[in-house]
Structure 1
Amino acid sequence: MGRGKKERRRAAATRPIEPVPGSRRTSRTVVLGAAAALAALAIAAGAWWWQSGRPVSVLITGGSSPSRPPASYVGHAACGQCHQQAEQRWRGSHHDLAMQPATNASVGKLVVRTDGPDGALHDYDVKYAFGTSPLQQYLIEFPDGRLQALGIAWDTRPRAQGGQRWFHLYPGQNVTHRDELHWTNPSQNWNYMCAECHSTGVRKNYDAKTRRFATTYAEVNVSCEACHGPGSNHVAWAKKEGNWRSLDGGTKGLAVALDERKAVTWAISAETGNAQRTPAARPAREVELCGRCHARRGQFSDDYVHGRPLGATHRVALLEDRLYYPDGQIRDEVYEYGSFLQSKMFARGVTCSDCHDPHSGTLRAPGSQVCLGCHASQKYETPKHHFHAAGSRGADCVGCHMPTTTYMVIDPRHDHSIRVPRPDLSVKLGAPNACTGCHSGRPAEWAAKQVEAWYGHAPRGYQRYAEAFRTASLGGPGAGDLLQAVARDGDQPAIARASALARLGILASPAAGEVVRAGLNDPDPLVRRAAAGALEGAEPARRVELLAPLLDDPVRVVRMEAARALAGSPRERLTDAQRKALDRGLAEYIAAEQFNADRPESHVNLGLLYAAERKSAEAEEALKVALEVDTRFVPAAVNLADLYRATGRDVEGERVLRAAIERDPRSAPAHHALGLFLVRQQRMPEALTELEAAARLTPESARYGYVYAVALNGAGRPKQAMETLLHVLSRHPYDRETLAALIAYSREQANPAQALAYTRRLAELEPANAEVRQLIQRLESDARR
């Protein structure tokens, strides 16, 4: 909210702000006959738990030391007594106006008549104005302490630009009170979704017993101490009060010294036309501090300490398909941090405040002049470089290297990966490019040829992982090798290497295993975290061997990932010290999820943890609470039903799933889970109805289509099964399960040539699979007969 575009929650128990890929399956495919496949389907149904968001880390306390008392907030007025110029620049900035009480000094008294949580019209007083430009939202207070953001906003742009009007944030959608996007529902909740980044010193203060919020803040907007930390010790140092000498330590009593640009010079090289930083060390403190709010991330503690790693209290999203294009360009609303980490600028030591004034938030110079401070104008501000007329959009550095994507209907945001335009990647992978973003009537092929004609070669950018990520998303041939190459490439951004490891999954090959092992010792915590997650499905002894050392990692989010991946591991495989470390990690994990007890996702996460630890009663309770928090949250129902199956209570599971479908008839996961239950009960006509609904409602899921086809074949409808599989294959040409079923059914239908074609495609995906190679030999022999 404010800046945050809300979206419909996917059918996975993940935090809306930081989704995580679901469960992983080994890439080794075994080709089963039809009867065996149907039996395996019915059995595996119970093993398929809905994967939740990767939980996070430990609550941390204080930034004090024996010689330094805990700091408290003093307010921007105290800061302004000495730092008058900085405060003046801050006045009227986006940070200053991030949130304002709805008074006569801001927006006046506003009363809104709109549909409430019951669907009926009610009058609501606006409590706060939220944001300032190009739109302003409005918050309504409820008796339980919630603040909710209305689905309509005010366009603050000038009328000549289309502004000065009310507009809906979800145009064309019929958002009723039953829809999760409705302004009264959890997706529009300020306390969880918005508060930390629009105010200073926020404490969420959610009481899980009473289910009420008592959220507080030190200042209503984003003021000085949001970035510099609580200022009481700095004030004492400045006034020389008390034991003020002990407060210095090089920071003058501040929680963090934002001095990474101090004594830094940038000299433009006559040879390259680019500036080089002296000293060359890459700073991270300032960028991480800004990333606290300018990242797509999940918060798991209020106890943020300025200057400590972001991973102590937040989990940053990696370059996942739903969030970024394969080349790393922004797709969903991910803000700036994840993009900037991909940039060559960050790799060379550029920080946020090199380009932006940290107090006003404005650029340090207008337009391209910011860029020309480090890039020689005689080389870059010329048609020989940009091949466009001077003063045109194509001659503008930002227009080509930081294209925009519009969110919240009217809010264009720049991609901060600052990349070379690559229309050639648009041709190959479908990613957007700046050229056709401007020349909207031209195809990407035209732009790619034009760029190559200008420069005499295809463009070469800093980021080199688009093909690997796209191939992995498709499950295509060579994906593992491509991902390993990205993960090993130390010249590539850490966030890209981490994303490659996250896609690698379990140790599918000795080579992948070595890459993951190396990632566990990477200096960047994003990479270590991803490597730990990649071991989730590994053999227990292997997991213990590799992950136990990470239980003592200095960054909490890494420790939490290791503990989560080790949950359920046989304790006898651990040393006494490792057992204690794992118990600490799991306790921290539980505390982290309890911090977000206002969200059903967190209770599902706890249910999954307890299930992994074989604590069925605790798992059941957590999943029930998830449904109490949000009755519409399908992953809670799916997991609860599966828990009932695992504990011999399938009939109760059916009731849970049917209730979920009644609440949300278009929930493919609920239909699918009910269909699997009915398969186990041998109620095939009913099962087929449910499985067909799941496949129809979510055609982007190869799994749903595959399962429906297997059920059709088991019900004696092989022709329809083959038609369904072919339809799935047309959308998912490299889906291993679909190929395996097509091979099996083709053989049953005495069509070895067709089976051979599918087997050869499967061999491209799994060249090391001996069973597949042997099957090719048999089918070739059969085809010659």
Structure 2
Amino acid sequence: MRLFVFFPTVGRIVLLYKNLFSRQIYHNPLSSPCPPSEGDKGGGRGTCLWLRLSMIVCVSFLICIGCHKAQQNISTQEAIKAQYVGRETCKPCHENIYAQYTGSDHDLAMDFATDATALGDFNNASFNHLGITSKFYKRDGRYFVFTEGEGGAFQEFAIAYTFGVRPLQQYLVEFPKGRLQTLPLCWDTRPKEQGGQRWFHIYGNERIPPDDMLYWTKISQNWNYMCAECHSTNLKKNYDVASGRYNTTWSEIDVSCEACHGPGSRHVEWAEAEANGKDTQGYTDMGLSIRLKNDEDEEVTWIFDKKLATYKPSAPRRRHKEVEMCARCHSRRGVISEDYVHGKPLLDTHYPHVLEENLYYPDGQIRDEVYEYGSFLQSKMYQSGIVCTDCHDPHTTRRRKEGNELCYSCHQPEKYGSHEHHFHKLDSAGSQCVECHMPARTYMVVDPRRDHSFRVPRPDLSKKLGVPNACNDCHADKSTAWAAEHFAKWYGQPKSGMHYGEIFRDASRCTPGTDADLVHLVEDNQQSSMVRATAILQLRNYPNESSLKTLGKMLQDSNPLIRSAAVASLDVLPPKDRVHFLLPVLQDSVRLVRTLAARSIAAVPSDVLSNEAWQQSEVAIKEYEETQLLNADYPATLINLGNLYLERGEFDRAAATYKKAIEIEPAFVPGYINLADVCRLQNRDEEGRVILQNALEIAPESAPAHHAMGLLMIRAGNHKSALHHLRKAALLAPENAQYHYVYGIALNSLEMSGQAISVLKRALTRNPYDRDLLVSLATIHRDRGEFEKALRYAVGLCKNYPDNKNYQQLEQQLRALAARQGDKPGGKN
């Protein structure tokens, strides 16, 4: 995954706001907690779902039933008053639900390590992974592992907690200052006949050395940061920046009733008042923080569409709050505030990722571990009003029905279960709805997750975009052309027009003309918000009058996901030009939208703003800073904070923040690059050189570090060393057009124009529409007197960017020069 956008002109790493929030790690709830006594269910157990650099774990929804009708929306004031009371308080009135919940994935989300909860083989078992042998055993009723620890030293670790239960279980180890780290050694809880009942390493056959950021004792595997929020109830990370200590707390160790229904004290008061015949008029929604089964649902009717042979709910937007509540954990997202209020917009406290490259395939299929929300929002199911609990029982965390029977609840089996629909043998894999419409990808070695976009297979897109398709997932021995041919034979050709995946692919390549397709996507209200938000972010590659007009309109959209994407895209404008767009957004009701706007305006010189506007921006910037400090245990967040201070001229504060990022994670190269850039701005390049040299000693294959060093060497006049580092950066990151452009320009400035042309042409094959590459090739050939060759690149520029007057002038100049040269004897080159 790309963690940053690199701007080589200043040598600074700029981390994307959303990527800062995309991590979630294991985190220590209580300092040295004691296991519960036998039979004491003070907490649940747990499952850790974590990924290479980003992990966000899942929590679903518990839906209260058996309650009477009431009003719908709880006020924020009531939500603040409500306190967490624990599941045992809920049990007397909800015994059936309590029984269903017991033993569910939510109930088993995390627990103290005991004989009842630890499922792995701790009977003096050994496990060898790439030459590293670990041993698992018990002593005095406690669980231990002897394995490689910090710095590669072998030592004994006591296991404090279990984390998860199906299809694997992970284990948490306590470290100083209240942090919990996740062992990379997991227990496969599947039956032995399915390949389970064994120890395995979370990275499969990949060796993660002790100095790697992904090593299990590092921040990337810290429970407090990565996983904690979604595996316990009412969890507060409580990280203290000054001391570097976690004082993490929870109300219940696992995902209990109030994780989904919110703090229950007001509901308990209502129930007691109701039972005693007292007046309950003052309790909105029976005192519930969020009412997940409400009057709107009870008014919904299921309408049968004869043409589609499918039942649909009459209300397309029913229970939107439920979907967002589930998305709090069932999404690839980050946290911007711990002040979560059930029923408030998700983006008030979280930042969900859109269909970004390397997270999703261009057509929106899942790629990295992204969970369900981003996929589900793309689906026609969501657009039609289907919600999570239509298919999943929130208390047992199981599907409501098994196999095709679940789909047949809405889709008529006579049509969709017939051979004429799926063209496969009955009871074969190809006749199962999910195999075609919810293909799975496996994460964490043994955990298959299904794509929730419920898409129709498109093998034709596999040919165009290089994306997977459900047909070839099963028929791996066949070509995509074979699959596309059979699909067309059975179902006809796909609908005419470009799929949004084709548009996103073209936009990622900066293909000229794609801005019109993007604008059409953005303004098409029939498209899902996830697709529209992705298109908005892609528009930043096309900063023209039409795209800016569209972005301005999207700042007024009712959906905060759309508004936040528009704010982020307006960063392409110079700071002064952002002001009139973003000043009104500082008053947005949703935290993510207004803090993104504040961060963008922070780069605007104060003399550009009126006194009132300056005061508004300062309040919002302070709120943005608070969102960052929440995750100041992660170095990427500190980079964001340091960049904020740097743009505001607070050099010492910026430098201290970058140093803190390096202290937390010495292998985090952006910290070194940005710290060196502070030195550059203060004319202390020799100190910057030492800093970058340290980065290269730690990460000798870091393209950004080599690039930054190359720029520094140019400033120092050490051309030989500069070319070495710039060349190394280009070789290490062949897809990065900017690195090649800078290397080519450096070669040309040192009168090595032939080599410069070779470098730039190679880069152009990967980036055929890159303006910098085309302009530099045109001008270098011109300066060499090769006017015909230069003209070819100028013609390409004008063809791709017909509205650019500078390119038109360049073409005219070269045509005149080529004509004049052609008139001379032997003038053609």
Structure 2 CA distance for partners of 1:56 and 1:190, relative to 1, 3 Å: closer
The amino acid of 1:273's aligned partner reads A
Aligned to 1:60: none
Structure 2 CA distance for partners of 1:500 and 1:411, relative to 1, 3 Å: same
Match of 2:183 among 140, 150, 156: 150
Structure 2 CA distance for partners of 1:590 and 1:55, relative to 1, 3 Å: farther
Match of 2:93 among 63, 82, 104: 82
Aligned to 1:257: 291
1:356 aligns with 2:384: no
- Give 3-state SS (helix, strand or coil) of 2:152's partner: coil
Q: What are the superposed Cα offsets for residues 588-608 of structure 1, whole Å, 9 maximum, x if unpaired?
A: 011111111211112111111
Aligned to 1:715: 750
Aligned to 1:167: 200
Instruction: Return 238-247 or 446-455, whichever deviates more.
Output: 238-247
Query: In the TM superposition, what is the alpha-carbon distance from 1:723 to its structure 2 partner?
Result: 2.3
Cα distance in structure 2, aligned partners of 1:456 and 1:129: 51
The amino acid of 2:9's aligned partner reads A
Aligned to 2:17: 53
Structure 2 CA distance for partners of 1:401 and 1:524, relative to 1, 3 Å: same
Q: What are the superposed Cα offsets for residues 21-69 of structure 1, whole Å, 9 maximum, x if unpaired?
A: x378xxxxxxxxxxxxxxxxxxx73375534435999xxxxx8766777
Cα distance in structure 2, aligned partners of 1:640 and 1:782: 47
Aligned to 2:642: 607
1:732 aligns with 2:767: yes
Aligned to 2:64: none
Cα distance in structure 2, aligned partners of 1:671 and 1:449: 48
Aligned to 2:62: none
The amino acid of 2:546's aligned partner reads A
Structure 2 CA distance for partners of 1:696 and 1:11, relative to 1, 3 Å: farther
The amino acid of 1:99's aligned partner reads M
The amino acid of 2:150's aligned partner reads P
- Give 3-state SS (helix, strand or coil) of 1:140's partner: strand
Structure 2 CA distance for partners of 1:120 and 1:164, relative to 1, 3 Å: same
Aligned to 1:34: none
Aligned to 2:66: none
Unaligned runs of 5+ residues in structure 1 are 1-8, 13-21, 25-43, 58-62
Kept after mapping to 1: 8 A contact 2:20/2:637: no
Kept after mapping to 2: 8 A contact 1:713/1:721: yes
Cα distance in structure 1, aligned partners of 2:158 and 2:432: 45
Query: In the TM superposition, what is the alpha-carbon distance from 1:10 to its structure 2 partner?
Result: 4.6
Cα distance in structure 1, aligned partners of 2:628 and 2:240: 13
Match of 1:698 among 724, 730, 733: 733
Instruction: Return 466-475 or 737-746, whichever deviates more.
Output: 737-746
Match of 1:179 among 212, 216, 221: 212
Match of 1:301 among 311, 328, 337: 337
The amino acid of 2:94's aligned partner reads H
1:72 aligns with 2:79: no
The amino acid of 1:619's aligned partner reads A
Kept after mapping to 1: 8 A contact 2:83/2:263: yes
Query: In the TM superposition, what is the alpha-carbon distance from 1:278 to its structure 2 partner?
Result: 2.0
Aligned pairs for 1:475-624 within 5 A: 475-505=510-540, 508-624=543-659
The amino acid of 1:422's aligned partner reads R
RMSD of aligned Cα (Å):
2.3
Query: In the TM superposition, what is the alpha-carbon distance from 1:412 to its structure 2 partner?
Result: 0.9
Kept after mapping to 2: 8 A contact 1:520/1:527: yes
Structure 2 CA distance for partners of 1:548 and 1:244, relative to 1, 3 Å: farther
Q: What are the superposed Cα offsets for residues 191-211 of structure 1, whole Å, 9 maximum, x if unpaired?
A: 010000011110101111111
Aligned to 2:321: 285
Aligned to 2:357: 321
Query: In the TM superposition, what is the alpha-carbon distance from 1:244 to its structure 2 partner?
Result: 7.5
Identity in percent = 45
Kept after mapping to 2: 8 A contact 1:169/1:409: yes
1:237 aligns with 2:270: yes
Q: What are the superposed Cα offsets for residues 530-568 of structure 1, whole Å, 9 maximum, x if unpaired?
A: 111111132444311111111111111001111111113
Match of 1:221 among 232, 254, 260: 254
The amino acid of 2:310's aligned partner reads N
Aligned to 2:793: 758
Cα distance in structure 1, aligned partners of 2:298 and 2:650: 54
Kept after mapping to 1: 8 A contact 2:744/2:756: yes
Q: What are the superposed Cα offsets for residues 74-125 of structure 1, whole Å, 9 maximum, x if unpaired?
A: 2222212211111111111111111121111111742111111121101001
Cα distance in structure 2, aligned partners of 1:381 and 1:248: 51
Structure 2 CA distance for partners of 1:772 and 1:243, relative to 1, 3 Å: farther
Structure 2 CA distance for partners of 1:613 and 1:448, relative to 1, 3 Å: same
- Give 3-state SS (helix, strand or coil) of 1:110's partner: strand
- Give 3-state SS (helix, strand or coil) of 1:252's partner: helix
TM-score (norm. length: structure 2): 0.86
| Equivalent pairs, count | 743
Instruction: Return 315-324 or 622-631, whichever deviates more.
Output: 622-631
Kept after mapping to 2: 8 A contact 1:484/1:512: yes
Cα distance in structure 1, aligned partners of 2:597 and 2:812: 43
Aligned to 1:131: 164
1:433 aligns with 2:469: yes
Aligned to 2:154: 121
Kept after mapping to 1: 8 A contact 2:639/2:661: yes
Structure 2 CA distance for partners of 1:263 and 1:469, relative to 1, 3 Å: same
Q: What are the superposed Cα offsets for residues 366-393 of structure 1, whole Å, 9 maximum, x if unpaired?
A: 1222222112222222122222222222
Cα distance in structure 1, aligned partners of 2:813 and 2:398: 69
- Give 3-state SS (helix, strand or coil) of 2:81's partner: coil
Cα distance in structure 2, aligned partners of 1:209 and 1:574: 33
Kept after mapping to 1: 8 A contact 2:213/2:665: no
Q: What are the superposed Cα offsets for residues 127-176 of structure 1, whole Å, 9 maximum, x if unpaired?
A: 11111111111110012111101112111111111111111111232212
Structure 2 CA distance for partners of 1:67 and 1:164, relative to 1, 3 Å: closer
Query: In the TM superposition, what is the alpha-carbon distance from 1:457 to its structure 2 partner?
Result: 2.0
Unaligned runs of 5+ residues in structure 2 are 22-73, 119-140, 823-829
Kept after mapping to 2: 8 A contact 1:671/1:693: yes
Kept after mapping to 2: 8 A contact 1:67/1:246: no
Q: What are the superposed Cα offsets for residues 274-319 of structure 1, whole Å, 9 maximum, x if unpaired?
A: 2232234443100000000001111122211111111111111111
The amino acid of 1:97's aligned partner reads L
The amino acid of 2:476's aligned partner reads S
The amino acid of 1:170's aligned partner reads Y
Cα distance in structure 1, aligned partners of 2:643 and 2:289: 38
Instruction: Return 534-543 or 466-475, whichever deviates more.
Output: 534-543
Aligned to 1:419: 455
Aligned to 2:124: none
- Give 3-state SS (helix, strand or coil) of 1:366's partner: coil
- Give 3-state SS (helix, strand or coil) of 1:733's partner: coil
Structure 2 CA distance for partners of 1:623 and 1:146, relative to 1, 3 Å: same
1:769 aligns with 2:804: yes
Cα distance in structure 2, aligned partners of 1:267 and 1:151: 49
Cα distance in structure 2, aligned partners of 1:69 and 1:456: 56
Kept after mapping to 2: 8 A contact 1:504/1:534: yes
Instruction: Return 627-636 or 208-217, whichever deviates more.
Output: 627-636
Structure 2 CA distance for partners of 1:331 and 1:366, relative to 1, 3 Å: same
Match of 2:143 among 110, 118, 126: 110
The amino acid of 2:380's aligned partner reads K
Cα distance in structure 2, aligned partners of 1:128 and 1:336: 27
- Give 3-state SS (helix, strand or coil) of 2:566's partner: helix
**Structure with the larger RCO, 1 or 2 (CA within 8 Å, 6+ apart):** 1
1:474 aligns with 2:497: no
TM-score (norm. length: structure 1): 0.90
- Give 3-state SS (helix, strand or coil) of 2:199's partner: strand
Structure 2 CA distance for partners of 1:268 and 1:616, relative to 1, 3 Å: same
The amino acid of 2:183's aligned partner reads L
